[in-house]
Structure 1
Amino acid sequence: MEQINKTIVKEFILMAFSSFQRFQMLLFIIILQMYIISIAGNSAVITLVKTGTVLHSPMYFFICVFAALEISFVSVTIPKLLANLIAADNTISFINCFVQLYAFNSLGVTECYMLAIMAFDRDLAINYPLRYSAIMNNIVCTALACFPFAISSIIALIPTVFTADLVYCGPNEINNFFCDLAPVQNLACSDPLVSNFVTSIAAVFASLIPFILILGFYTHIITTVAKLKSPEGKYKAFSTCSSHLTVACLFYTSVIIVYIRPKGSHYDKFFALIYTILIPFLNPFIYTLRNKDVKEAFQKFRIFKMKICKSE
Structure 2
Amino acid sequence: MTRYVGRFAPSPSGPLHFGSLVAALGSYFQAKANHGVWLVRIEDLDPPREMQGASEAILQALEAYHLHWDGEIVYQSQRHHLYQAQIDAWLKNGDAYYCQCTRKQIKEHGGYYPGTCRNKNLQEGAIRLKMTKPVSHFIDQRHGQMSIPEALINEDFIIKRRDGLFAYNLAVVLDDIDQGVTEVVRGADLIEPTGRQISLYQILEQPEVSYLHLPLAMDTNGNKLSKQNHAMAIDVNEPKPTLLRAMTFLGFHIPKELNATNIDEILRWGCENWQVKQLPVEIEITP
TM-score class, shorter: under 0.3
TM-score relative to the length of structure 1: 0.26
* Higher relative contact order (Cα pairs below 8 Å, separated by 6+ residues): 1
Q: TM-score, normalised by structure 2?
A: 0.28
Greater per-residue strand proportion: 2
